[in-house]
Structure 1
Amino acid sequence: MTHPPADGSPDQGPGREAPPAGGESVDPMFAEVADIVTFIDAPEPDLWIRPSTPPVTIEIVDHDPAWTDHYADLADQVRDSLAPQGSFVGIDHVGSTSVPGLKAKPILDLALVVIDPRDEDDYVPALNSIGLDLTVREPAWYQHRLLKRLDPEPGQLHCNLHVFGPRCAEVARMRLFRDHLRIHPDDRERYQAVKLASAAQSNAAGETVTDYNARKQSVLREIYHHVFASRGWV
């Protein structure tokens, strides 16, 4: 089993090295600062490839150190499945399950970068072969595609595989947010508090995960401002 690098750098494809110190611009999973600090909110109709399911109880649980191993196993499968097509650029563990000490929904979030997310034939069939199904398509939001593990086998976790292209601002933001929460317990605790409150409110109202995410949005953006300010970007 291949584990992600201890420094939090992404798993990248052959010939795509992580950037040297001060050389973030060569990293295909990073982006231009001007793009990172500019959010694109582009709601689109009819995003769901598969019908959305009825609301289910949003469960927030204690962090499980085994989530790192679950990520490593799935990342290996994704990378191996895409190797014949040559579409793989990089993959990283993002979202709350990637932050030790942070309560989370027991659902893995992975950021996958491919050469061109619009060319679905180049990666979707291969990902189907390992149990991941295309669920959402968002062309106006960084050409995002979302694949889900809809029927986990015993011992597997549900997962959200977010697919983007190289040098995507959203991928860079997700990694920056993760790294910030890992070393800033005050913002980590603040984010955890809004997650728990939002889950309770959404469950009481019979809302979807989309509604739950919307409830967290203002605090999420405030923490992003802390991330950007700490780097002198805003």
Structure 2
Amino acid sequence: MTKRKPRRADVSTLDLVGGPERVVVGLHEPDRQWAEAFREHRRRILEALTEADVEVEHIGSTSVPGLAAKPIIDILVTVDDITAEEDYLDALLAAGYELRVREPGHRLVRTPARDVHVHVFEHEDAAVQEYLLFRDHLRSDAADRDLYERTKRELIARSWDDMNDYADAKTEVILAIKARARAARDARRDDGTAQ
């Protein structure tokens, strides 16, 4: 897939619609309904974006079987051109999602109940592969899955004025897990077992 030059300049700052929000949800034990909720929203997104070339993936903790998570379904949608909001944003808003974040290279819409977050990136954005690398590693590595869950449990027990601060506090552990995920992926490639 050839990366297309954006039709216009992207936004240059973060627009957090509604401002900071307190973290008010705790971790829930793994729930098989999360996969069903993803499938329902995937269908809804694809129906809304019939005119766009999109990919839709389940990411985040609810996409990892056996992992405790905040009961928020994170969905990754990739588009050709993040700056061409008319190709995807209006349709997602018409499908019942609300704009929460507009920042360089990324848009986030969510349900009014705030239980589904849809992250929109361009197909070739490096963040896309990072999300998938992390998800796939946690799905296959029990030790890192347990480490990540312990970290989340420790952090969610604290009081956070903004959900983004809670997310930022996990960064060090996430980076360490991603480093191990890359090393494992590269070792499989060297062995010829990578797909």
TM more than 0.5: yes
Q: Deviations over 1:147-186 (max 9, x none)?
A: 111247xxxxx11100011122111111111111111100
Task: State the alpha-carbon separation in 2 of the partners of residues 169 and 177 from structure 1.
Answer: 13
Residue 145 of structure 2 aligns to a residue whose secondary structure is: helix
5 Å-filtered alignment, 1:69-218, equals 69-83=36-50, 86-139=51-104, 143-151=105-113, 158-201=115-158, 203=159, 206-218=160-172
Q: Look up the match of 1:60.
A: 27
Give yes or no for the alignment of 1:226 onto 2:191.
Answer: no
Runs (4+) of structure 1 moved beyond 3 Å?
Answer: none
- Give the counterpart letter for 1:147 in structure 2: V
Number of aligned residue pairs: give it.
Answer: 179
Cα separation, partners in 2 of 1:173 and 1:151, compared to 1, 3 Å: same
Cα separation, partners in 2 of 1:167 and 1:46, compared to 1, 3 Å: closer
Root-mean-square deviation over aligned CA pairs: 2.0
- On the 8 A contact 2:106/2:121 being kept in 1, the answer is yes
- The structure that is helix-richer by fraction is 2
Residue 232 of structure 1 aligns to a residue whose secondary structure is: helix
TM-score (norm 2): 0.85
Task: State the alpha-carbon separation in 2 of the partners of residues 213 and 56 from structure 1.
Answer: 10
- On the 8 A contact 1:113/1:164 being kept in 2, the answer is yes
Cα separation, partners in 2 of 1:87 and 1:59, compared to 1, 3 Å: same
- Give the counterpart letter for 1:58 in structure 2: V
- Give the counterpart letter for 2:53 in structure 1: F
Task: State the alpha-carbon separation in 2 of the partners of residues 231 and 98 from structure 1.
Answer: 19
Task: State the alpha-carbon separation in 2 of the partners of residues 196 and 138 from structure 1.
Answer: 29
Percent identity between the two aligned chains: 33
Task: State the alpha-carbon separation in 2 of the partners of residues 27 and 224 from structure 1.
Answer: 26
Shift of 1:56: 3.6
- Give the counterpart letter for 2:40 in structure 1: D
Residue 66 of structure 2 aligns to a residue whose secondary structure is: coil
- Give the counterpart letter for 2:109 in structure 1: L
Structure 2 gap segments, 5+ residues each: 4-11, 188-195
